[in-house]
């Protein structure tokens, strides 16, 4: 049978249109073979996955078992030894280096010292010393005892009103006016320094009280920090003392200079008198 006859045999009319039945059957057979091939490949892949999953799961459990065994045997022993050493060191600190009984004894001593002496020292430093009677000196004295550096401008005004101002040029000699100005300047400078020093002394006392409170509640190991704080407070106190000593030296130097000026003036006056006496005797 030739190709023309085969085509004519498998060709039918559908709604008046020729349809090749043979080609349709061949195309359907190719589609079924393709699906069978895909199903076979998927079955093989699924079987391979199931076969590999079991050894992998077994291998993972083995790894975790090894890790747990290592933690319990090797690392567990090391951690236990570290814990024992830590307890030994802590016991050494509590019994030998920082015994609790000695710490409580020191705290009690500090607390008793604060109770016995802090009130008396506060009373000593805050005892009123005012003794002026008239209004002007009373105001001046209250400013001097205020212990506040902010009162320095009021101190200068009160000093002038109580001790007087420098006389005018036609009232006193130029040399006397210069000496009055120098003496007033040194006096006011030292009085202002006392205000600053008193305020600084209050700061030092407050710092000392805070340090005593810290010592009463201190813990082992805090001694170096308290010592450093005490050294800083000591240096600050030394600075205030040096400030006061410098003011005292300036006042003493001004007094010596003032006395020396008086000696010079007496010498000049004596020389003038001697000249007058010599001239009077010569004229005779």
pLDDT for position 74: 65
Mean pLDDT over residues 113-118, rounded?
83
pLDDT band per the 50, 70, 90 thresholds, residue 161:
very high
Q: Quick one: which H or E segment has residue 14? A: strand 11-14
Mean pLDDT over residues 246-275, rounded?
84
Count the residues in the chain. 284
Beta bridge partners of 11: 20
Nearest-angstrom CA–CA distance, 196 and 144:
10
Place of tokens 């001097």: 144
Q: Please write the tens of the pLDDT for every residue from 209-221.
A: 888 888 877 777 7
Mean pLDDT over residues 221-245, rounded?
85
pLDDT for position 68: 63
Domains of the chain by residue range: 26-71, 134-283
pLDDT band per the 50, 70, 90 thresholds, residue 102:
confident
Q: Please write the tens of the pLDDT for every residue from 41-56.
A: 555 554 545 444 444 4
Mean pLDDT over residues 66-88, rounded?
74
Q: Please write the tens of the pLDDT for every residue from 178-200.
A: 999 999 999 999 999 989 888 88
Query: When comparing pLDDT for 71 and 266, which is higher?
Result: 266
Query: When comparing pLDDT for 38 and 260, which is higher?
Result: 260
> Is 67's pLDDT higher than 80?
no
C-beta atoms surrounding 144 within 10 Å: 19
Highest mean pLDDT among 58-72, 89-103, 178-192: 178-192
pLDDT for position 201: 86
Nearest-angstrom CA–CA distance, 22 and 12:
11
Helices (H), the chain: 3-9, 21-70, 76-92, 100-125, 135-144, 152-163, 174-216, 223-283
Query: When comparing pLDDT for 249 and 222, which is higher?
Result: 249
Mean pLDDT over residues 109-125, rounded?
82
> Is 112's pLDDT higher than 70?
yes
């Amino acid at each position: 049978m030739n190709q023309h006859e085969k085509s004519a045999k498998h060709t039918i009319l559908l709604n008046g249109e020729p349809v090749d039945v043979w080609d349709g059957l061949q195309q359907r057979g190719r589609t079924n073979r393709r699906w069978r091939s895909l199903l076979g490949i998927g079955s093989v892949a699924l079987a391979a996955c199931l076969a590999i999953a079991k050894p992998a799961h077994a291998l993972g459990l083995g790894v975790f078992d090894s890790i747990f065994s290592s933690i319990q045997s090797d690392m567990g022993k090391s951690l236990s030894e570290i814990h024992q050493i830590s307890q030994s060191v802590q016991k050494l600190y509590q019994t030998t280096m920082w015994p609790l009984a000695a710490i409580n004894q020191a705290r009690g001593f500090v607390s008793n010292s604060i109770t016995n002496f802090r009130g008396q020292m506060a009373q000593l430093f805050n005892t009123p010393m005012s003794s002026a009677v008239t209004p002007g000196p009373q105001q001046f004295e209250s400013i001097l005892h205020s212990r506040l550096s902010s009162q320095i401008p009021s101190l200068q005004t009160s000093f002038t009103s109580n001790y007087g101002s420098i006389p005018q040029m036609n009232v006193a000699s130029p040399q006397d006016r210069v000496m009055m100005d120098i003496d007033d300047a040194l006096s006011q400078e030292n009085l202002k320094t006392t205000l600053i020093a008193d305020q600084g002394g209050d700061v030092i006392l407050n710092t000392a009280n805070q340090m005593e409170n810290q010592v009463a509640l201190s813990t082992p190991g805090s001694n170096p920090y308290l010592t450093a704080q005490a050294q800083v407070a000591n240096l600050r106190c030394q600075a205030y003392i040096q400030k006061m000593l410098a003011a005292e030296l300036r006042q003493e130097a001004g007094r010596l200079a003032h006395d020396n000026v008086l000696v010079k003036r007496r010498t000049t006056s004596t020389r003038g008198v001697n000249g007058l006496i010599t001239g009077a005797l010569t004229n005779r």
